[in-house]
Amino acid sequence: MQNSKFPFILLTAQIVLSGCGGSDESETTSANSSPSSPATTPAPSQSLPPFTSAITLTTVDAQKVGSSDFASSTQLQASWQPPTTATALKLQVVENGNSHTVGPFAATTASYTLTNLKAATPYQVTLLGCQESSCSSTTAATDLATAQTSEEFWQIQGGNSYETATQAVDNGSTLSYTYRYEEAAGSSYAGRSIYYFNPARTATLSGGMRIALSDSSASDVAALSHFTLTEGGLVNPCSDGNGPDDTKCNTPDYPYVIQAFQAVPLTSGFVKLFFEAHSAMDADSTSRIYTLDSQDGYVGIDFDKDLDSSLCEGSDFAAGGSCELTLAIGADGDQPADSGLKHARQFKIGYPMLDSSIWDEAAGTFMVITAADSCEQTQNGLFLAHYEGNNQWQVAQESGCAKMLVRYAHGPVITYLGDGRYKVYYEYETDSQGNMSREEKPLRMIYVDSGSDNRADIDEFEAEEIARNVNFLWADGTLLSKEEEMGLGDHVILTPSKDLQKQYMYMNLGGMDNQLWRKASAGLGMAVLLNP
């Protein structure tokens, strides 16, 4: 049972302090009353006597898809018998050592659905009773209930294999990113979604980054399962359908191999494209994160200053070119600040996208980066950086070393949940060389609560030891094997209607990370979260 003396003492202290302030009504009455009619002091609230609640905690929205049984990953139902002596009720909710209360509720309330919970997480719930409506002093029931939310289950759309699954874009390969346009993009684009992706090398496309648009502003699966190619993008002549090949363009005219990217609309009035790249002239192929600014405002298709082209290619990327790059996250020794990283690779920036896809450029905004660090903590892990304003990012460091979030991981994905909370997904690896374990599920997820400042410091991220598994089903409901899941990479999540009950994931289908498909990706597929 929760100790009821402590809140009682606090309440008494508040009454005494109020009386000493000179403005309390009881003190005024006392000053003007005669000795025969002394002022009365309000009695402090009393705690309830011990009670039991017969509380239960059960899952919500149970489903069976194929042979997989699961329920909502974010909700649990609490039910109880209200104590007859209470005037109001609360629930105390505990997960992984963290505690908060929900309520107050009316004294006759007998159930409540807990929402916005963490997936695959055990919860403990206790009923609290009180004798005043504000519930400033509570007594805990002598019993409690425990239950665990479900892991997430995502269903791949279309078919039951890499080849037959729905293709988000024609000739897609890997490394996609998408978001929904705001009204600021103009009436032709508002509500539609834009899709950035790495294409397979074909007779008409080469590697790099290409851009496609949804045909309408609808936010259902049908409207967002295919995007139509535009003319804009970045051409990467150093890549083919099997990945980067520096020997194809090892000259100053073709200086960069373009890799993972994220396009971020800014309150400044344009889209800033962040992307991983390395110089084809660099013997060590050191990757860094660079930026380019759109030349078409919030449309985000044209990044070439040359008015005759919306496609950056070749020498456009060189110093002084129409698509000259700006360094955002460098490697050891780069200026203006040493990052503490040997290289900076796949990354994502976290900001409140449920509020708006347009970033307010607030200092303290966080970025999660795949990297090897100069202190050799890991060769392929996740690190943290913060935006310092004026186009400057600083990798979080301690005692001269970059701070590590996850030791063996790559390919972070960030989903905003509201109230400063985020999900961070990553592809799990298990050794110092970055090799995937064939015994573990490859996609993991942790939570971070950045608080009101949205900064997300290192201690606000959950430890990797409690990372959750994420599950995938084929269209017929068959659960993907661990080996099949390893062929899903470069994940990104779209919440098109800003409603967390409707989340879509895009990812490459097949690739070199699994033993079943030792060739280039079959394309870019789409999955739907079945149990939000």
- Give the start-to-end residue ranges of the domains of the chain: 5-30+44-150, 153-529
Task: Kindly tell me if the per-residue pLDDT of 247 is higher than 60.
Answer: no
Q: Quick one: 228 exposed, middle or buried, by C-beta within 10 A (0-12, 13-18, 19+)?
A: exposed
Segment 378-400, tens digit of pLDDT: 999 999 999 999 999 999 999 99
Note whether 145 and 91 are within 8 A (CB): no
pLDDT for position 464: 94
Please report the pLDDT score of residue 434 as a whole number: 58
Tell me the C-alpha distance between 75 and 261, whole Å: 33
Q: How confident is the model at residue 441 (pLDDT cuts 50, 70, 90)?
A: confident
Identify the band that residue 471 occupies on the pLDDT scale cut at 50, 70 and 90. very high
CA distance linking residue 126 with residue 124, whole number of Å: 7
pLDDT at 1 (0 to 100): 41
CATH for the stretch 153-529: 2.115.10.20
More confidently predicted of 336 and 175: 175
Once rounded to an integer, what is the mean pLDDT over residues 297-322?
91
In the prediction, which pLDDT does 432 show? 60
pLDDT digits 0-9 by tens, 450-462: 988 889 999 999 9
| Cα(426)–Cα(405) distance, integer angstroms | 11
- CA diameter of the chain: 103
**Given this model, what pLDDT does residue 381 score?**
95
5 vs 242, residue with greater confidence:
242
Average pLDDT, integer, range 353-374: 96
- Residue 384, amino acid: L
| Bond prior to 104 in cis (omega within 30° of 0) | yes
**Given this model, what pLDDT does residue 439 score?**
66
Q: Which one is predicted more confidently, 105 or 253?
A: 105
What pLDDT, on a 0 to 100 scale, did the predictor assign at position 283? 65
Q: What is the pLDDT of residue 409?
A: 94
Calpha distance 461→464 (Å, rounded): 9
- Residue 75: closest CA among 109, 26, 15, 125: 125
Checking if the pLDDT of 13 tops 50, the result is: no
Domains 5-30+44-150 and 153-529 share a fold: no
Q: What is the pLDDT of residue 435?
A: 67
pLDDT band at 39 (very low <50, low <70, confident <90, very high): very low
Domain 5-30+44-150 has CATH 1.10.3470.10: no
Using alpha carbons only, give the angle 19, 22, 23 rounded to the nearest 5 degrees: 90
Cα–Cα distances (Å) from 502 to 182, 494, 528, in that order, read 18, 9, 8
pLDDT tens across 168-182, in order?
999 999 999 999 999
Q: What is the pLDDT of residues 159-209, one digit of tens each?
A: 999 999 999 999 999 999 999 999 999 999 999 999 999 988 665 666 789
69-111 pLDDT, tens digit per residue, is 999 999 999 999 999 999 999 999 999 999 999 999 999 999 9
DSSP-based three-state secondary structure for 267: coil
Average pLDDT over residues 499-523: 88
Query: Taking all residues of the chain, what is their mean pLDDT, rounded to a whole number?
Result: 86
Q: Which of 115-124, 247-256, 260-269, 317-326 has the lowest mean pLDDT?
A: 247-256
Q: What is the pLDDT of residue 208?
A: 84
Taking 70 as the threshold, does the pLDDT of residue 431 lie above it? no
